[in-house]
Amino acid sequence: MGIIRSIRRNRILKEGLLPTDTWTWLVRDHPILNGLSDAELALLRRISTLFLHEKVFEGADGLELTDSMREVISVQACLPILHIGLEKYENWKTVIVVPDVFIQEHTEFDKAGVAHEWDEDNSGESWDTGPVVLSWKDVEASGWGDGYNVIIHEAAHRLDLLDGEVNGRPDLHQEMDPTEWREVFSAAFKDLKRRAGRKKRRLKIDDYAVEDDAEFFAVTSEYFFEQPHVLVGEYPDVYRLLGAYYRQDPLVRMKTR
């Protein structure tokens, strides 16, 4: 980190750390933060404060953003990078918030060069270095510990991009084995896909995960932080590797709370 940025960050933290009353309700209202140690909560408060200052937030489609909306998004966006650093979001500058699910227009060219267009409902979108778009309705449904978290989902796509490709594998730490990652994730993906084809209703993990490798990483990241017991019960090796990447163990901290 450059010296100028470091000085600027120190100044932000000195002058404008998230106020205690705000911080208290943020922690209380987000069960997924349960079990974090005092030191981790203090770190999360610092990183969330910096995220709030450094990212641009915009309301769209008539949504008027309030401070508390920005804070709710920031604290959840910062949970995954708590122990791997805010620098991971360097390529993420803007957060756009819309009131509800939005229609995403897609254009794809087939082999003959003919454009095909279609619309898709989306609760979040993040596919390049552009803004992350979030539906406020889905943000409100996130953070309760029920397995769904649109912010963590889109944040995972951002991390996935860091090795240059959105392929379900983020920039692994040096001590991690890319071959093991690929094998574990692809075996779990295939298993979920097979089970989704048979009896969807009995799946404990949202079958959106079987769209592709990138969605599998994003959805299992949601469960990692929201319902670690579900993920560890279904795919213990996926849980273990996500733990090695995020450098967190939500299962242990939620059990010992």
> Is residue 210 within the footprint of Zn ion (CB under 5 A)?
no
Positive or negative, the CA dihedral 54, 60, 64, 70 is negative
Torsion of CA 74, 75, 76, 82, to 10 degrees: 110
Q: Which residue, 25 or 208, has its beta carbon nearer to Zn ion?
A: 208
Structure tokens at 59: 């309301």
Burial environment of residue 89 by CB neighbours within 10 A (0 to 12, 13 to 18, 19 or more) = buried
> Is residue 209 within the footprint of Zn ion (CB under 5 A)?
no
CB of 194 to Zn ion, least distance (A): 21
CB of 37 to Zn ion, least distance (A): 30
CB of 41 to Zn ion, least distance (A): 28
What's the CA gap between 227 and 251, in Å, rounded? Answer: 8
CB of 51 to Zn ion, least distance (A): 20
Structure tokens at 165: 């490709």
Tell which one of 47, 86, 218, 251 touches Zn ion (CB under 5 A): 218
> Is residue 166 within the footprint of Zn ion (CB under 5 A)?
no
| Spatial CA neighbour of 239 closest among 212, 37, 249 | 249
> Is residue 184 within the footprint of Zn ion (CB under 5 A)?
no
From 66-74, 113-121, 169-177, 213-221, give the range in contact with Zn ion by CB under 5 A: 213-221
Render the burial of 158-183: b for 16+ CB within 10 Å, e for the rest. bbbbbeeebebbbebeeeeeeeebee
What's the CA gap between 53 and 37, in Å, rounded? Answer: 24
Q: Which residue, 33 or 151, has its beta carbon nearer to Zn ion?
A: 151
CB of 156 to Zn ion, least distance (A): 8
> Is residue 81 within the footprint of Zn ion (CB under 5 A)?
no
Structure tokens at 174: 């040096």
CB of 122 to Zn ion, least distance (A): 9
CB of 223 to Zn ion, least distance (A): 14
From 1-9, 71-79, 161-169, 212-220, give the range in contact with Zn ion by CB under 5 A: 212-220
Count of residues near Zn ion by CB under 5 A: 2
From 33-41, 91-99, 101-109, 208-216, give the range in contact with Zn ion by CB under 5 A: 208-216
Q: Which residue, 215 or 234, has its beta carbon nearer to Zn ion?
A: 215
Residue nearest to Zn ion (CB): 218
Question: In sequence order, which ranges of the chain are alpha helices (DSSP H)?
Answer: 3-16, 20-28, 38-54, 67-78, 136-140, 150-160, 178-199, 213-226, 228-234, 236-246, 250-255
Partners of 122 in beta bridges: 102
What residues make contact with Zn ion under the rule CB under 5 A? 215, 218
